[in-house]
Amino acid sequence: MTKRTALVPGAIGITGRAIIEFLEKDGNWDIIGLSRRSNNFDSKAKFISVDLLNKEDSAKKIKELSSITHVFYCAYSPQKSVQDEIAPNISMLKNLMDGLEPVAKDLEHIQLMHGAKWYGSYLGPYKTPAKEDDPRPIAKNFYHAQQDWIVERQSGKSWTWSAVRPHGIWGFSVGSRMNLMTGIVLYAAISKHMGLPLKWPGTPEFYNCLYNIIDTDLLAEAMCWVATTAKTKNNAYNISNGDFFRWKDLWPKIAEFFNLDVGPIQTVSLQTVMADKEPIWSEIVKNHKLQPYTLSDLTRWDYLDMALSNGYDQMSSITKIRQAGWQKTFDTEKTISKQMQKLRDSKIIP
């Protein structure tokens, strides 16, 4: 097989990191990561520091990337509101493509990393299980804008596009905005240190609702599969572990991993109650000889508050990707501790 070259904008976020680690193991890829921050994990990939929001900076650095065959676009510029996110996130994608298309003559595919927010999952109850072609919510977000933009841009081109739409993402990253797992395990580690049982911090309704997550190892494999194998290109695909669960059934498994009792439900704003926990965390780090990250290095509590405060089923149908040939399934209850164990092994958590 001829060697492929992957470009991963957003390289140290949760999904960018996952795809880089996957492609490295695969061995058939040259990998170039783009990020504003410098790299914070072990990797043989080439990292380029670039601000995609800056047209000149992007143009200068992307000019050199003539070997790119596949783009895994994982970059995300968070803003104060969903509406405000549209313009910068379109600019970043546009700056990238403006720079890349003229030089990357072998470009085959660009993949957008989206999610269930496509369906308005953050707005309130929505049609579930959600399907890719369901009518859009009335509130447009940058996923819709980016997909519309790439569809337009691709017209008449030899390269193809795809978009993947995971929901809860379960895996490791440092300081990325939307990381479900890191926040939960830090909350658990601090609960343990304080002698508390593992209380459910979300709403009582959400504890009983249906939810779906994807392990980042599986997500990366699916991303690569969609970009290189899926029968149907120029399409968006939901992706998850392949099953559904309720937090009430998963929470005991997380408690078990930390050797904690399952506590009662206590709904709190994590942003509020974790605000004064840096000293406790640094004590935990010292006691267990962990890597010297602060809580704010590792997680963003506002995302977790948003993710756990809903009270309705959140389900994505993955029939479409299965019909395209994808056959992998992870049993969520059986695999939930794998990524947590990785965190423990790399001395991030006790």
Nearer to another protein, 234 or 317 (CB): 317
Task: Tell me if 331 contacts another protein by CB under 8 A.
Answer: yes
Angle between helices 14-26 and 216-228 (to 10 degrees): 70
Quick one: which of 214, 284, 315, 343 contacts another protein (CB under 8 A)?
A: 315
Stretch that binds another protein, among 53-61, 174-182, 252-260, 319-327 (CB under 8 A): 319-327
Task: Tell me if 33 contacts another protein by CB under 8 A.
Answer: no
φ, ψ dihedrals at 109, nearest 5°: -155, 140
Task: Tell me if 319 contacts another protein by CB under 8 A.
Answer: yes
Residue ranges of alpha helices (H) inside 82-212 are 82-103, 142-154, 180-193, 204-208
Task: Tell me if 244 contacts another protein by CB under 8 A.
Answer: yes
Task: Tell me if 232 contacts another protein by CB under 8 A.
Answer: no
Quick one: which of 280, 317, 337, 347 contacts another protein (CB under 8 A)?
A: 317
Task: Tell me if 245 contacts another protein by CB under 8 A.
Answer: yes
Quick one: which of 23, 242, 251, 300 contacts another protein (CB under 8 A)?
A: 242
Stretch that binds another protein, among 35-43, 121-129, 192-200, 224-232 (CB under 8 A): 121-129
On whether the CB atoms of residues 168 and 215 are closer than 8 A, the answer is no
Query: In the range 156-215, which residues lie near another protein by CB under 8 A?
Result: 210
Output the six-digit token pair for 16. Answer: 């960018």
Nearer to another protein, 105 or 328 (CB): 328
Residue 79 CA to residue 77 CA, distance in Å, equals: 7
Give the containing element (helix H, strand E) for 220: helix 216-228
Residue 121 CA to residue 128 CA, distance in Å, equals: 10
- Cα angle value 176/201/210 (rounded, 5°): 85
User: What does 180-209 look like in DSSP terms, one character per residue?
Assistant: HHHHHHHHHHHHHHTT--EEE-S-HHHHHS
The burial class, CB within 10 Å (0-12 / 13-18 / 19+), for 287 is exposed
Stretch that binds another protein, among 18-26, 114-122, 242-250, 270-278 (CB under 8 A): 242-250
Shortest CB 329 distance to another protein, Å: 5
Residue 44 CA to residue 110 CA, distance in Å, equals: 22
Question: With contacts defined by CB under 8 A, how many residues of the chain interact with another protein?
Answer: 20
Residue 296 CA to residue 32 CA, distance in Å, equals: 27
Residue 86 CA to residue 343 CA, distance in Å, equals: 33
Task: Tell me if 143 contacts another protein by CB under 8 A.
Answer: no
Shortest CB 164 distance to another protein, Å: 18
Quick one: which of 140, 144, 177, 322 contacts another protein (CB under 8 A)?
A: 322
Nearer to another protein, 248 or 344 (CB): 248
Shortest CB 249 distance to another protein, Å: 7
Q: Which residues bind another protein (CB under 8 A)?
A: 127-129, 131, 210, 242-246, 249, 313, 315, 317, 319, 322-323, 327, 329, 331
